Structure 1
């Protein structure tokens, strides 16, 4: 009997995940699939399930796979999946919620510290033969306020980390319940007004695209640090660059961008007070296994009702 097809929009899947999916014929889309690639593979193989690693899965791919029952995200963010189109077609969408929480929270903390301590700039200066001890002053985070936008698994994990460092933690999330004592729930206006650092941990939706823009950045404390390990579309990149260059934002640590991969000549390139990483917050050996296993289990759960 022919095995049902499962399409992975990537080049690989953790062996632990593949063990769970032994009853499927797994087809890989490759390391950098386009939407057209995915549509073509759906048309050729008619998968019953898709595990989404890279690229987008839209209505055209769904229509090309009449047997499709579930689209499972290899991660927590489902903005690359057309959820309305899936709902219209009775296709379940699932996410590996929390599977990469430790990895992403650690990346957010790393970017926060890199910004506060000028790690990248001082490293470059040292390699160029300079010794800036007499002239450089870093930012001490103890006693400062951090505002977290989004209090899911990642945001709450970061909250515990920075609380242990002695930071005051403000948080905004209209859906969060039973928050730990270390998080003070507030509105966005308070986040902007009172935070010395702001870290984004919310999904990207039509309602919050460009959440950090010229107006909201102007409402922030002068010299605020901005960290984004969520989705690039949450930030108006031109407005952020202007705010960094004016000093309204002291520095920014960014792991996600409006367009990925970032093209050569992007305005952020060469900006000394913007620390960049290529959307690898959730990319660790441990998270790779956790996300793969969670995505595989979500497939089985959906197909088994």
Structure 2
């Protein structure tokens, strides 16, 4: 019986049903590289389903039978794809499986920022009534700039269009972009957006995409939303921009280092709305991502003959 390693503590029952006939081993909620190396050494899996932690060359080398690494989600930046390719290991992702969940989280963060949801809730619970002094931002008629027009970005674009927003987007790889999304270059996006939402994968080319320089090119008082990867933002630059008012509010679901450690500078700032990278964590997405991850790895295993001897 071949083994499949899950870098997490569980997998949806619907996904497990697809993997019947394989032995499924769990690495736990917060597996380290040494944990994964040890498990691969002990069990020699033919496939790894990646939920948490990173899978690099050392993990791959500890599993000589490994033929496929399947991401439980869409972002594969935690997998060393160069190392995998060099070893003939296929990397697959559950693209679009959590698109609805993440797009809804992006919308929730945008609305929370524009409508001061968190601050007003705290004031109300403290016994205040700020109707005479508070004004929220109306999104209708304003411009939202989307960096990334994949499954999540386009789903969010439809929501923004329904709010009456002008939707502009940048994605050199986008296909079948709907008419209500105007494709622009990045400089135009920075200059014209009243709010910016990131929906692209993290690569070596776009790491720190939002930094001191790009934030300075944005409209003063822009809202920044990130439900993609924390590495897309230079966090020190964003902190300075929020403190100066160049960025009015930031709604963030992902961070450069996760989990966020106590004492992170964002935690003390009132103009940050934060969530612990749970955009894709819904009961529906959990099933969708698990089933997609299992299906993808089985497709790879079915077309690759096992190496004997």
1:67-113 C-alpha deviation (Å, 9 max, x unpaired) = 00000000000000000000000000000000000000000000000
Task: Measure the CA separation in 2 of the matches of 1:40 and 1:125.
Answer: 50
Distance in 1 (alpha carbons) for counterparts of 2:38 and 2:214:
42
SS at match of 2:228: coil
User: Any residues of structure 2 matched to 1:142-221 within 5 Å, and which?
Assistant: 142-221=140-219
123, 128, 131: which one aligns with 2:129: 131
Superposition pairs for residues 1-305 of structure 1, below 5 Å?
Answer: 3-305=1-303
Aligned mates of 1:41, 1:191 — CA distance in 2: 46
Which residue of structure 1 lines up, in the alignment, with residue 307 of structure 2? none
Deviation at 1:31, TM superposition (A): 1.1
Q: Output one character per residue of 1:218-255: Cα deviation in whole Å (capped at 9) or x when no partner.
A: 00000000000000000000100100010000000000
Gaps of 5+ in 2: 304-309
How far 1:36 sits from its partner (Å)? 1.1
Q: Root-mean-square deviation (CA), in Å?
A: 0.4
In 2, Cα distance between equivalents of 1:289 and 1:178: 27
Map Cα deviations across residues 141-187 of structure 1 (whole Å, 9 max, x no partner). Answer: 00000000000000000000010110000000000022101100000
With the length of structure 2 as denominator, give the TM-score of the two structures.
0.98
CA distance in 1, matches of 2:205, 2:21: 40
Question: In the alignment, which residue of structure 1 is the partner of 2:306?
Answer: none
SS in 2 for 1:268: helix
Which shifted more, 119-128 or 94-103?
A: 119-128
Runs of 4+ in 1 over 2 A off after TM superposition: none
More displaced 10-residue stretch of structure 1: 126-135 or 278-287: 126-135
The count of corresponding residues between Structure 1 and Structure 2 is: 303
Shift, 1:32, TM fit: 1.1
The DSSP-based 3-state class of the residue aligned with 1:269 is: helix
Q: Secondary structure at the match of 1:104?
A: helix
CA distance in 1, matches of 2:19, 2:176: 35
Instruction: Give SS of 1:256's match.
Output: coil
SS at match of 1:300: helix
SS in 1 for 2:266: coil
User: What displacement does 1:23 show?
Assistant: 1.4
The superposition leaves residues 253-299 of structure 1 with CA deviations (integer Å, 9 ceiling, x where unpaired) of: 00000000000000001211100000000000000000000000001
- Give CA deviations for 1:196-223 in whole Å, capped at 9, x if unaligned: 0000000000000000000000000000
- In the alignment, structure 1 segments of 5+ residues that lack a partner are none
